[in-house]
Structure 1
Amino acid sequence: MNPSTDITTAPLVLRPGDAGYAEETAGFQTGFVRRPAVVFGASSAEDVLAAVRYAAERNLPLGVQATGHGTPGDLRGGVLVGTRRMNRVGVDPGARTARVQAGARWSEVIAAAAPHGLAPLSGSAPSVGAVGYTLGGGLGLLAREFGYAADHVRSLDVVTGDGRLHRDVREGSELYWGLLGGGSAPGIVTELEIGLVPVARLYGGSLAFDGRLVDPAAALAAYEAWTRTVPDGLTSSFAAVPYPDVPAMPPHLRGRYEVSVRVAYTGTDGERLVAPLRKIGPVLADSLREMPYTESHTVHSDPDFPHSYYGDSVVVRELDVERAGEVLRRTGPEADAMVVVQINHLGGALARPAPNAVPFRAGRFLVRLLTVVGREPARALLDPVFALLAPDTLGRSVNFALGAGDRTEGLHDAETRKRLAGLRSSYDPASLFVAG
């Protein structure tokens, strides 16, 4: 192509040094900062198309950012497409669907669906971009009951790296299959149509224990045994968080080692089901209650302020509690840096096959480790811990390769990798798109 695309017609084009450039490139993740040569602030699919064609004509690396929760690849000299202005959400209550633009957050989808007694299959943090999360698979609060968010996508609009806008891409298309769960995509999805579920309220929250009074490894073993007794409709996770004793930390958290179980359930017998968990030890905090879905973010109470982090994850066939206990010992208060451990119970509807590239559906648990140090020290700290789980590891999660997305090994099985490579070759032949 010849460099003929006129970028002056875009609603917002910024370069380093321009007013607003820093704000446009900033995201929730502060530890991995992008410094592209050109930023397109897109307001429509046509704006995205113009940005992709501009990059293609000049053979420039290309990336996309909605909320900036992911950890981005290097875009020096390249083009960043910002989609945060594309945040329109439309709900069809009769069809139980929502059309969601690329920059919309889960909070906006939840708010639009709630008046109709409906809910999206959103994640734990309402500030996360709905489209990006869904494309990674989308392990939501009600995942064991309804499956991955990607399993409920009806159609997609996408601009591919070859400079084409594809509208209404549906099941049966290779592009549909690969965009959902494929990781490094050959294009920018500008809009999704997703299915909603009839959920007005849920039983949810967390039980927290003092990790210095209760043996975290024993608590995890009790949790793993409990997961074998619950119905498919109950979704839960185990977490261990060693809060540092530093002045910046709120006084009630300074130096605390908190072990907790988080629960989300749409059934009516939640109190009976969680009763065995209360026997783990003295309860430090109990937020379990009936709540409207609009308060579902309080189940995890994820940080809502921008910060730096690096994380990775593995899907395991089974959770060996002895090895997992050693994971807790190596990541506890004595570790070289703060490490947050979260272990999600999988199975249920997550194990059902679906016409997309979301992998490792046979896994029973997802083990996630998150730390606040930089990429290299984080790798040195976390990789040996993940190695403990290698005998049961199936692979890694696309959604939770936070800073490690440039390491593609383990994200898919060999056959899926080959199929995805063919898809990228067809739709992004110049390999413009940079892995995050």
Structure 2
Amino acid sequence: MEHNDIETLASEVKGPVLRPGDEGYDQERTGFNLAVQHRPDVIVGATRAEDVQAAVRFAAEHGLPVAVQATGHGFSVPADGGLLITTGRMSGVEVDPAEHTVTVEAGVRFEQVIPETVPHGLAPLNGSAPHVGVVSYVLGGGIGILVRSFGYASDQVRSMDVVTADGSLRHVTADSEPDLYWALLGGRDNFGIVTRLEMNLVPVARLYGGGIFYDAEAAPDVLKAYLRWTEGLPQEMNSSVALIPMPDDPEVPEPMRGRHVYHVRIAYTGSQEEGERLVAPLRDTAGPALFEVLREMPYAESASIHDDPPVAVPFLREVALFEEFGDEALATVLEHAGPEATVPCVVELRHLGGALATPPVHPNAVAHRDAQYILSVVTLLFGVTEKDTRPVLRRLFDALGPWTTGSSLNFMGHGENAGQEQVRTAYAPEALERLGAIKAVHDPENIFRLNYNIPPTGDGASAGS
């Protein structure tokens, strides 16, 4: 690319256009996961859909692959060269309380949405961490804190504005462009860059929720008790359990400091009285608790249930879905990722089922609706490297292979975890075939390939893929 080319691009967009060495380049390319970063040839900090269009056209003209980043939580494939579009400046939020909908621009985070919806007694189907970007989370499916009660967030999408590989801006609905609508919801940024998304809100103003904390040494059977407890629960009860190695740090509350702690998370949409009755059997069987914080809360405080830290950190993550999670799978997790693991692992097992099994009104590509549990294992890369960590996680997930049914884009991870073999596990085979055919129509050159990539297939596929 010539300097004049960059100047021409800069004249067509309102946001910054940055190259390596420019002031602000490093900050612009850095996302939430500090273990990996983009190193593009050029960055466009988009402020509007027209900026995205100009950037995509520029990339196509110069043969550059395109990556897009909102918050960088769901990092997949780093851009080593190419063009990166950052969307954090696109922050518009519009709530329609009469229609029970919210419309967001590409860079909006859930922490910007929730304060706008709760005054109307409405809630988005957000994840446990409110600092996650809305669009990428929803396009990946969206497994949130109310997943059993209301299903995938993607099932609530009404419309999207998307810039496709030819630089055009399309308004996509299930009626106007059913193939592209179906593919975007589950296929993410393989088919274009969504600049605006409209989705339904749910009538939730409060929860009975919070957490119960256990010392893993004093109450070693918490995971087993949790699994037994989840059997037969109503779909209004949403929960997960995490095994967390707490640092020996003065900022950690004394009862948990330096211990492996089980954290049971509860988000119940029914009454407080019924929630307490449903939780009682878990209390009776899990063992002695360090302490408990379960209460009636406004939805605006729902982030306190998981209490995910908002600080960017380097981490490695792997994930698997299960239709059943028996004693053998449980023993395997504890053997490879429990308190005696060679690297410190944060293990979360989340209860699925419930409304997930209900087919959406408008079909989409999100798969594995029969899954009952999702296991996510995260290692913070403090004092350990990816080279140390990957073999540990690989041994664990290889050992779990006989029981796994697939994976989820929302938790899949980066590097090796974003390869073709892993991406295929996120879809049913017939869905993956259809996605490849739709990709061939809308992005035959595969310029949107710096992601959990679905290559174009069929007659429309190009040698550039």
Cα RMSD between the aligned structures?
Answer: 1.8
2:43–2:85 contact (8 Å) kept in structure 1? yes
Number of residues paired by the alignment?
Answer: 432
Range 411-420 or range 46-55, more displaced: 411-420
Q: Is the 1:240–1:328 Cα contact (8 Å) retained in structure 2?
A: no
Q: 2:208 aligns with which of 189, 197, 203?
A: 203
**Which amino acid letter does the alignment assign opposite residue 173 of structure 1?**
P
Q: Which residue of 2 aligns with 1:143?
A: 147
Q: In structure 2, what is the Cα distance between the partners aligned to 1:249 and 1:428?
A: 49
Distance 1:248 1:7 in 2: 50
Paired amino acid for 1:208? F
| Whole-Å separation in 2 of the counterparts to 1:104 and 1:183 | 16
Note the C-alpha offset of 1:330. 1.9
Using the alignment, how far apart are the partners of 1:94 and 1:366 within structure 2? 35
Corresponding residue number in structure 2 for 1:70: 74
The one of 343, 346, 358 equivalent to 1:352 is: 358
1:399 is the counterpart of 2:403: no
Structure 2 partner of 1:365: 373
**Shift in Å at residue 165 of structure 1?**
1.1
The corresponding residue for 2:451 is 435
> Paired residue for 1:226?
229
Select which of 326, 329, 336 maps to 1:323.
Answer: 329
Which residue number in structure 1 is paired with residue 455 of structure 2? none
Does the CA contact (< 8 Å) of 2:141 and 2:185 recur in 1? yes
Structure 1 unaligned spans of 5+: none
Q: Structure 1 residues 399 and 338, CA, compared in 2 at 3 Å: closer, same or farther?
A: same
Contact 2:329 2:403 in 1 (8 A): no
Shift of 1:388: 2.6
Looking at structure 1, the residues matched to 66 and 51 of structure 2 have their Cα atoms a distance apart, in angstroms, of 14
* 1:191-238 C-alpha deviation (Å, 9 max, x unpaired): 1100001111011111110001111xx221211111113111111111
Residue equivalent to 2:394: 383
Cα deviation, residue 121, structure 1: 0.3
Of residues 278, 284, 303 in structure 2, which corresponds to 1:273?
278
The answer on whether the counterparts of 1:220 and 1:321 sit within 8 Å (CA) in structure 2 is no
Structure 2 CA distance for aligned equivalents of residues 34 and 250 of structure 1: 33
Match of 2:75, as an amino acid? T
1:291-340 Cα offsets, whole Å, 9 max, x none, are 11110001000111000111111111101123213312321222121111
Q: Is the 8 Å Cα contact of residues 214 and 263 (structure 2) preserved in structure 1? A: yes
Partner residue in 1 for 2:126? 122
Which of 315, 320, 332 pairs up with 1:314? 320
Is the 1:337–1:372 Cα contact (8 Å) retained in structure 2?
Answer: no
**SS, match of residue 259 in structure 1:** strand
Q: Distance in 2 between matches of 1:395 and 1:415?
A: 14
Partner of residue 435 from structure 2, selected from 415, 420, 427? 420
- SS for the counterpart of 1:22 is helix
Counterpart of 1:361, as a letter, is R
**Aligned CA distance change for structure 1 residues 13 and 146 (closer, same or farther; 3 Å):** same
Match for residue 10 of structure 2?
A: 8
CA distance in 2, matches of 1:81, 1:189: 12
CA offset at residue 170 of structure 1?
2.9
Distance 1:256 1:272 in 2: 29
Deviation at 1:375, TM superposition (A): 4.0
Deviation at 1:184, TM superposition (A): 5.1
Is 1:290 aligned to 2:296, yes or no? yes
CA distance in 2: counterparts of 1:209 and 1:266, whole angstroms? 24
State the Cα deviation string for residues 69-117 of structure 1 (Å, max 9, x = none): 1224131221000100001100000000000111000011111101111
**So what's the TM-score if we normalise by structure 1?**
0.95
2:218 matched residue in structure 1: 213
Could you say if the C-alpha distance between residues 431 and 249 of structure 1 is closer, same or farther in structure 2, counting changes exceeding 3 Å?
farther
Unaligned stretches of 5+ in structure 2? 453-465
Displacement after TM superposition at 1:344 (Å):
0.9
Correspondent of 2:198 among 193, 205, 222: 193
Alpha-carbon distance in structure 2 between the residues aligned to 1:399 and 1:84:
19
Deviations 1:138-169 (A, max 9, x none): 01111111111000000111111222211143
Is 1:111 matched up with 2:115? yes
Letter in 2 for 1:285: F
The TM-score normalised by the length of structure 2 is 0.89
After the TM superposition, which residues 36-185 of structure 1 pair with which residues of structure 2 at under 5 Å, given as runs?
36-171=40-175, 173-183=178-188, 185=190
Change (3 A) 1:72 1:390: closer
Residue 377 of structure 1, CA deviation = 3.4
Q: Is the 8 A contact 1:220 1:325 kept in 2?
A: no
Mapped to 1, the partners of 2:32 and 2:222 lie a distance apart of 32
Greater helix content: 2
Could you tell me how far apart the structure 1 residues matched to 2:138 and 2:312 are? 21
% identity of equivalent residues: 46
Q: Distance in 2 between matches of 1:90 and 1:222?
A: 43
Verify the 8 A CA contact 1:309 1:372 in the aligned structure 2.
yes
Shift of 1:378: 3.0
Per-residue displacement from partner, 1:389-430 (whole Å, max 9, x unpaired)?
A: 222211011110022223423121211111111121111111
Contact kept? 1:242, 1:332, Cα under 8 Å: no
1:259 is aligned to 262
- Distance change >3 Å, CA 4–CA 308, structure 1 → 2: closer
Partner SS, residue 189 of structure 1: strand
**Partner AA of 1:415 in structure 2:** E
- Who is 2:425 aligned against? 410
Per the TM alignment, residue 183 of structure 1 is displaced from its structure 2 partner at its CA by 4.4
Runs of 4+ in 1 over 4 A off after TM superposition: none
CA contact (8 A) 1:37 1:77 kept: yes
